[in-house]
Amino acid sequence: MTGSIRRTTWLLALVAILPAAIARAQGMPGDWPMYNHDLAGWRSNPDETTIGPENAGRLTEKWRFPMRGSNQRIGVIHATPTVVGGYVYFGTATDPAFYKVSPEGHLCWVYRKPTRAGRTASVETSLPAGKAPNAATKAQGAPHDFRFQTTSEGIMTSALVTDDSVYFGDLAGWFYALDRETGQERWRVDARSKEFPDPHPINLFFASPILADDKVITGGGALEQLIAGGLFYRGSTGRGFLVAFEPKTGRIAWKYNLGPKPERLSPPMRIRDSWGIHFFSSGPATSTIWSTPSFDAASGTLFFGTDVNTAPRRPTPDDPRLHTRESCAIVALDVRTGKERWVTQIKPGDVWTNAMRAYDPKEGRHKDQSIGDTPKIYEITVEGRPTKVVGAGCKDGGFYVLRASDGKVLEHTPIYTGPPTYPLSPAPDRRMLALPSCIGGLQTGCATDGRTVFTNGIDAIRLMSQETLAASVAPPTAGRVVAISPDTKTERWRHERPRVASLGGPPPRPVFTDVGDPVASGLAVANGVVYFTTVASGKLVALDAATGRVLKEIPIGPVWSGPSVSRGRVHVGTGNTLFTPSDQEAFLPKKATGELYCFGL
């Protein structure tokens, strides 16, 4: 065999065994034990053999929880359900609770947060053995008189399920470990407590946890772009972070803070745009890490993406930048120590809050172009040599491939850099995956089976980007799934979503008409089928992974959750309160309660 053939044979063999080996590290074959299914971030289940392109068109509902006709209600399920041994684990963003449901759709247990009055410790011990905190609701589930509304204590992450425990975080800054069999709390950590390293009063957990190097690793920070830069909150003092917990005790093994510690800016800095003047009394600041990390065991490296600067740094004569090098970047850390190995900034200059215009016409710069997608670890051929890379989508609409050893950008798909007005000028490259925007581009949840990368896309370029706020109230214009080669050079197919007749209200008074159908959820790949949900039309869709042919579309109502595939079943949660719970926002259909659906043959 020639060297080239040997390398190709070796690469194909690695592609075949890598995802299976990673999946078995944390679950039995066929399980979906964490947000991305595996530590490499692939969102692909190589052990699924029941459902394939030849029979996916026969998918039907097997059960839902709560059952059809029940007077029980649960909150919105925004994250991908976790499935181990056929049991499904998920949390809710409204009426916050965490559930375990049997393979037949029956409630096993539900955990509700205990009263937090008088918090004094960052790690709190569990109740005595056999006395679970949720005993009153274990058998029957949620009481029926809870108010269903957006909550600052909601659960927006997927759970990590191990042999004996379940781990997840919430928007109130708490991270939990529960007993997998009983739902009893084992420990919890408060990221707002003074005992937490470098705490912040609005810390939260927004990344889903993984288990790497015998540590539970997750990310969070202070989501200050929601309030920073205004009259009542003029500075940002928080930083994104990655933290590693000991699984049994909740003790913190290490914590990585993103960027320099914010300091008082005296006098305060001002940034002016067409929407007004934005004041910053502290900075620089980095927003929460909401990219779920991936892990390469061979090199002991964690990879994740970062969000924007929510406050500027003070420029100096020798360094006029307002941004820091860590914002809108892909970062590699040593899993043993949490120390940086490299930082590659994808979108410099992105200082942004929700009060600011999402496009700077002077610099021709789109804002809020963060990396929420997990960097997927795989191999490509570079200059004739097999090379380990990480590939991730960005909210600028591009998919980037970086060399894993040093973070060098090797390839990326075409990016639109023109103004946010139609007709687009210059005309975008036909291989562009999605348009940039503050909710658009490739937000998170791209997938790969090692042979093809599958990207999800949202076009919403006019939203938050026009000269005035009133003109910026604009819905998404398109959504799609695109299949490309792992090196980004070849497009294999694209599935463009049909437009939706109306959004926001019953005919004849819709708020918006003739709108796009974004694909915002995480994709799932299994046995030659690509699964995803559509936000505007509210469907679960299955495509042939080889051709992009539609195999099945199932209406499920308002949805943001991505599906998971395990043991011949497709699970997905429903309900949606993004990006505000108000029906009048109407960019995306809303529903403040949810269901867990199970589909099969």
Give the pLDDT confidence of 82-136 residue by residue, as tens digits: 999 999 999 999 999 999 999 999 999 999 987 533 333 334 333 333 333 333 3
Q: In whole angstroms, what is the distance from residue 425 CA to residue 541 CA?
A: 32
Q: What is the pLDDT of residue 145?
A: 34
Q: What is the pLDDT of residue 583?
A: 62
Q: In whole angstroms, what is the distance from residue 322 CA to residue 564 CA?
A: 41
Residue 463 identity (one-letter amino acid): L
If pLDDT is split at 50, 70 and 90, which confidence band does 457 have? very high
Mean pLDDT, residues 184-211 taken together: 96
Cα 375 to chain center, whole Å? 11
- Whether residue 302 has pLDDT greater than 60: yes
- Per the prediction, the chain carries an average pLDDT of 88
Only one residue has tokens 């997990």, namely: 374
Specify the higher pLDDT residue, 147 or 283.
Answer: 283
- According to DSSP, the β-strands at 44-45 and 524-526 are parallel
- Whether residue 432 has pLDDT greater than 90: yes
Q: What is the pLDDT of residue 232?
A: 77
Mean pLDDT, residues 443-472 taken together: 95
- Whether residue 516 has pLDDT greater than 90: yes
Q: What is the pLDDT of residue 510?
A: 74
Mean pLDDT, residues 64-92 taken together: 95
Q: What are phi and psi of 499, to 5 degrees?
A: -75, 155
Specify the higher pLDDT residue, 101 or 224.
Answer: 101
Mean pLDDT, residues 192-213 taken together: 96
Q: What is the pLDDT of residue 21?
A: 40
Burial pattern 219-247, b for ≥16 Cβ within 10 A else e, equals: bbbbbbbebbbeeebbbbbbbbbbbbbeb
- According to DSSP, the β-strands at 550-555 and 491-496 are unpaired
Mean pLDDT, residues 199-217 taken together: 96
Q: What is the pLDDT of residue 22?
A: 41
Q: In whole angstroms, what is the distance from residue 385 CA to residue 291 CA?
A: 29
What are the structural domains of the chain?
Answer: 209-291+293-373 (2.40.10.480)
Lowest pLDDT segment from 116-125, 238-247, 500-509, 524-533: 116-125
What 3-state DSSP class applies to 543? strand
Lowest pLDDT segment from 65-69, 158-162, 523-527: 65-69
- Whether residue 181 has pLDDT greater than 90: yes
Give the length of the chain. 601
Give the pLDDT confidence of 546-587 residue by residue, as tens digits: 999 999 999 999 999 999 999 999 999 999 988 776 666 667
Specify the higher pLDDT residue, 62 or 10.
Answer: 62
Give the pLDDT confidence of 243-264 residue by residue, as tens digits: 999 999 999 999 999 999 999 9
Structure tokens that stand for 574 in this block: 């429903």
The neighbouring-strand residues paired with 525 are: 44, 530
Distances 203 to 10, 222, 294 between C-alpha atoms, Å? 45, 4, 22
| Predicted model pTM | 0.90
Asked whether 280 and 294 are in contact (CB, 8 A), the reply is: no
Cα 505 to chain center, whole Å? 28
Q: What is the pLDDT of residue 592?
A: 87
Q: In whole angstroms, what is the distance from residue 429 CA to residue 247 CA?
A: 47
Mean pLDDT, residues 44-71 taken together: 95
Q: What is the Cβ-side half-sphere exposure of residue 171, based on CA atoms within 13 angstroms?
A: 17
Distances 359 to 302, 407, 588, 591 between C-alpha atoms, Å? 32, 27, 22, 30
Q: Which long-range contacts (CB under 8 A, 24 or more apart) does 15-23 make?
A: 15/378, 15/379, 15/449, 15/450, 15/451, 16/450, 18/378, 18/450, 19/44, 19/46, 19/449, 19/450, 20/46, 20/47, 23/47
Q: In whole angstroms, what is the distance from residue 592 CA to residue 597 CA?
A: 16
Question: Between vectors from CA 41 to CA 496 and to CA 538, what angle results, nearest 5°?
Answer: 35
Q: Cis omega (within 30 of 0) on the bond before 143?
A: no
Mean pLDDT, residues 227-252 taken together: 89
- Whether residue 224 has pLDDT greater than 50: yes
